Structure 1
């Protein structure tokens, strides 16, 4: 048995290591001076609304809680990207399509609601539907077009991007949402996961080529807990659901995507040892919201939407939030789900805090997740 003095020295050692890590984390937290964001509706701060003036995202109750007006975000308030920006002391990112003649040295948001990681030509050939052709590839083109006005020469850009955080996603969810809405099977859509992961990987590689040195790449949320999936893919067989009422096969689908993505990011990290590639574990950050909502302050539960058109989960495709026939709850902060597809500001804040508290955005790591990549 160790002596009391040895035990005390051990305690002091761990305390010292904690202080060193905390100091390092604090210094790294403030090293970012700009953020560049890519993705879909989980990150879009207004690009889609600027291309579609009739979008329901452009009307109340979207934006009602924080902005007190529609802001183009698919929520009642702020998104994860907004909370990350606030934590890093950076202004909320303007949408790229609304940033003409604006100074963008603090960053800009290229994300578009409905965007896919894979080019739409692939979905057309497969007979899958899609919402917008402003894909991840198009967003990269916007970024490339911005470079001359942003930092001039390639050498200047590489110096500028040393202090920039690149958020690549969440992206990939719509590559699955669109075909799943056509009731395509889990097995069929599972076969395209490698192509989606490859598209995300290629985007990360492209950004590294332009000088990005810190990239944060989120995985997918547990879609089997979404009111959208629970309504469109409801089952009379109880074994299709877990103990919290989520669809097991769809959550397993999300985990498979996330595992492949982590494996690919690990490969890229080996190829680029001087770059920090961070996996954002959205799945495990969000799953407790569905499994223990009341304990986390979401008294109305995790599965039923705050804003919608009725039904078991308050999600109805004929009366979507913002369209005729919808109703909205009095207190969105007591709900996890905002409109059955997207989350409330309170839920996004929980996810952002989870990631920040685990130092996922401010520490140099290769892969951080509770999933075991080696078991793929």
Structure 2
């Protein structure tokens, strides 16, 4: 990330462009107002570099670097006939492969290409994109300002953005017989998903104070562990009151109905009594509609609307720390385990392919079940030491 620095009382900008460290000096003295002014210019420069629209001469017309980078661009143009540009090839690659992608995956790849990858690499021939270009691009993604005032996209988001770049370059390398510059570039390490469930007392408070029209919705989310897309995409034809089951068969993703996330996500969830009662109540409201949970027009719920208009105000009212609605899923898992339900059954209800994933993620929230709190060892010691004291006492008495 670039910086504003001082030399002999005058300020200069220090940043990197195309792998080159650039220092552009000014005649501005080192004062807070001047630093603020230059910092704003530097942020625009780095944003344009990231988007691939930066024109060195437009900012530093008298700099010696202008000619250097102009020569670089001219040389690059000379090579454009060797292989297609990344923009042209990525469109071909996308059109050839999208038939095999889920709707949600297609939307994610398209967004990453249009918003980030194409502005940075679109004009470059695929065979002339270098490892250094990719690493610099990835580093810049970690500097993008965020809406909450922080800086830098998350490692998970950066890895997602890089997926179409990696896949398209790999395909281009095979077709045009060059080594992919992405070779040996590993994905960033992603922190484990934060599990921050609600306690049963908190769940009961929430369900007591939530709006009547959203009580069945939150009851279902807290006591079934359904994902947001599964819940918002739930249709009445998948609710079987006779068998007291919810059949998870589809999911609403990016406004379109699609298959469940994985094969193991297709499952039948038994209704507990609170869920059964909640859905019976919901049936009185929306039983004549296709969707179980919908707005007044009969359309599917939007997570942002639910979060901003119902969920966040409710947590503020109850003075509870903010947690995403998705924590209702984690809450269901921890309540089941704490109640003593078999981990294999919990894993199946969660839609996990491997029970070890369930245990690894939620074990610490169910100490009585998993015995990972040291209580089993304490009990063993108490038993042994108690028996030893009893033997010693008997020896003294004899």
- TM-score strictly above 0.5: no
For the aligned pair, the TM-score class normalised by the smaller chain equals under 0.3
Higher relative contact order (CA 8 A, sep 6+): 1
TM score, norm. by length of structure 2 = 0.23
Larger Rg: 2
- The structure with the greater share of residues assigned to helix is 2
TM score, norm. by length of structure 1 = 0.24
